[in-house]
């Protein structure tokens, strides 16, 4: 991905030097599960809550004394800036104003308006404060644990969470979360899948416009993003974690579905094609 000479976003909040001693009883992650549903990884936060003691201290990496360039921070700042350029333009064309989200960098544990969360939940978006949260160590897991290397795979992660922000601004996320409170767990999971696949499609829309206007893509970039989408599908995540697949418990979609919807946004660049809620087959 061509990014080194591009604009950096001013909407990056670096909390990696902060030290937090959270109370990690069920409340923190429980709030996130209810409000977000949209964790990037297919990890059930309730499972993590059961594994944690009622109270613990989690020291953050101290990066405040580091000197010199921070390439990964620079990279995510560039990707965020590029999403700002694309979505500002697309919202303007639609007669609306885009409110840019903030990207929060943290290490270990973080406090958001949606509650306390550990890095184990993966990158996430909190609609209550309109911020994206990521522990940059996740990218190491993406390369090694999930076998999804490459800078454009990393960009896809940010673009997916920005997709959730777009859903929030359009009122889609709020409508879905309201409906989830009135249906069974299986139906709520199915709604979550549609929400996640739409965010994948919106990430593809960003990539389409970013490359069309700024030629950011290099050879192999698209394959990197498609591989990442496949590797973090619920089916592959469940096989890694439990050794079998339970489709009724999917919250993000299968690898094949995630690839297909990202590719649709990438190939068309058309937000209207990302309506995952009006199609019978995902």
DSSP letter at 62?
-
d(CA 225, CA 158): 11
pLDDT score of 78 = 96
* 156 backbone dihedrals φ, ψ, rounded to 5°: -60, -40
d(CA 84, CA 139): 22
Q: Which residues, in sequence order, are bridge partners of residue 124?
A: 133
Q: How much is the pTM?
A: 0.84
Residues of the chain whose pLDDT is less than 70?
20-68
d(CA 243, CA 236): 9
Q: Where are the alpha helices (H) located in 146-281, listed in sequence order?
A: 151-169, 172-180, 185-214, 221-231, 234-242, 255-268
d(CA 205, CA 199): 10
pLDDT score of 71 = 92
Does residue 174 sit in helix, strand or coil?
Answer: helix
* Among the listed residues 120, 129, 114, the one whose alpha carbon sits nearest the alpha carbon of residue 13: 129
Q: Measured between alpha carbons, how far is residue 211 from residues 9, 85, 237, 272 in Å?
A: 18, 12, 30, 19
Side-chain half-sphere of 212: how many Cα atoms within 13 Å? Answer: 13
d(CA 169, CA 84): 14
What class does CATH assign to 12-273?
A: alpha beta
Rg (CA), the chain: 18
Q: Which helix (H) or strand (E) holds 91?
A: helix 71-93
pLDDT score of 21 = 56
pLDDT score of 269 = 97
pLDDT digits (tens, 9 = 90+) for 51-69: 344 334 344 444 444 556 7
pLDDT digits (tens, 9 = 90+) for 81-100: 999 999 999 999 999 999 99
């Amino acid at each position: 991905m061509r990014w080194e000479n591009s604009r950096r976003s001013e909407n990056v909040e670096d909390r990696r030097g902060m030290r937090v001693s959270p109370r990690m009883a069920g409340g923190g992650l429980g709030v996130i599960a209810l409000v977000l549903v949209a964790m990037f990884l297919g990890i059930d936060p309730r499972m993590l809550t059961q594994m944690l003691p009622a109270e613990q201290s989690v020291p953050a990496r101290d990066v405040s004394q580091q000197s010199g360039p921070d390439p990964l921070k620079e990279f995510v700042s560039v990707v965020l800036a590029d999403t700002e350029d694309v979505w500002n333009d697309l919202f303007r064309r639609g007669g609306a104003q885009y409110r840019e989200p903030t990207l929060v960098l943290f290490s270990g544990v973080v406090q958001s308006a949606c509650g306390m969360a550990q890095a184990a939940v993966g990158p996430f978006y909190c609609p209550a404060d309109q911020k994206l949260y990521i522990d940059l160590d996740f990218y190491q897991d993406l390369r090694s644990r999930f076998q999804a290397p490459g800078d454009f795979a990393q960009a896809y992660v940010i673009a997916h969470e920005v997709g959730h922000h777009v859903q929030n601004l359009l009122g889609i996320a709020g409508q879905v979360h309201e409906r989830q409170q009135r249906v069974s767990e299986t139906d709520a999971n199915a709604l979550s899948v549609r929400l996640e696949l739409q965010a994948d499609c919106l990430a593809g829309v960003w990539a389409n416009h970013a490359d069309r206007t700024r030629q950011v893509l290099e050879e192999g970039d698209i394959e990197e993003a498609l591989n990442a989408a496949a590797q973090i599908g619920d089916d592959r995540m469940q096989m890694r974690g439990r050794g079998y697949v339970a489709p009724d418990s999917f919250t993000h979609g299968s690898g094949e579905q995630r690839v297909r919807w990202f590719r649709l946004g990438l190939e068309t660049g058309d937000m209207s094609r990302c309506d995952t809620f009006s199609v019978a087959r995902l």
